[in-house]
């Protein structure tokens, strides 16, 4: 009986350790470049980066991996977020968004990306916390 208890205790310890390990802190980092002329997304996990590279090679012109929107100001008469047109390129392990027109000083930009978003981790599936719909990673950047 004591041996059986030790086996179950070891199994429970392994499961708890697996559940405590998560990649919640490994989300991609979204920020302006040093001169604020482009937006850089880095810290992309290898699997997501491979998917992005394959999609980029297939159709780089129509690829919509990142959405950049101008947030309306408090005194702005247009209350809709306007999309910023631009091009995406991949350099090393980072994705770079270059706008067609320079970013405006004093404006806020909302960046939305589904890169690296996961449906659920193994631990989430075990305890029943799988998501039914994915939410984009959102980051507000001020120029």
Yes or no: say if 58 and 50 are a contact pair by the CB < 8 Å rule.
Answer: no
Per-residue model confidence as pLDDT tens digits over 103-112 = 989 889 999 9
Provide the 3-class DSSP secondary structure of residue 1: coil
Per-residue model confidence as pLDDT tens digits over 36-78 = 899 999 988 888 888 888 887 877 665 677 899 998 876 666 6
Residue spans per domain, the chain: 26-142
Separation of alpha carbons 131 and 41, rounded Å: 24
Q: What is the pLDDT of residue 120?
A: 61
Per-residue model confidence as pLDDT tens digits over 20-33 = 454 445 788 999 99
Distances (CA, A) of 121 to 23, 53, 102, 118, 125: 8, 23, 39, 7, 6
pLDDT tier for residue 8 given thresholds of 50, 70 and 90: low
| Topology annotation, domain 26-142 | Immunoglobulin-like (2.60.40)
Q: Which tokens in the block code for residue 8?
A: 């179950």
The answer to whether residue 102 scores a pLDDT higher than 90 is yes
Q: What is the pLDDT of residue 2?
A: 52
pTM score: 0.68
Yes or no: say if 106 and 143 are a contact pair by the CB < 8 Å rule.
Answer: yes
Separation of alpha carbons 12 and 90, rounded Å: 43
For 2, the enclosing helix (H) or strand (E) is helix 2-20
């Amino acid at each position: 009986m004591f041996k059986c208890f030790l086996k179950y205790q070891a199994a429970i310890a392994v499961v708890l350790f697996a559940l405590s390990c998560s990649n919640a802190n490994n989300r991609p980092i979204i920020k302006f470049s040093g001169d604020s002329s482009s937006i850089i997304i880095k810290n992309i996990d290898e699997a997501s980066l491979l998917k992005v590279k394959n999609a980029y090679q297939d159709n780089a012109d129509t690829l919509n991996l990142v959405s950049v929107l101008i947030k309306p100001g408090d005194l702005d008469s247009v209350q809709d977020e306007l999309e910023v047109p631009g091009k995406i390129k991949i350099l090393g392990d980072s994705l770079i968004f270059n706008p067609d027109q320079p970013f405006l000083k004093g404006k806020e930009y909302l960046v939305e990306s589904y890169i690296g978003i996961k449906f659920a981790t193994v631990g989430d599936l075990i305890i029943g916390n799988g998501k039914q719909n994915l939410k984009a990673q959102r980051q507000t950047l001020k120029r």
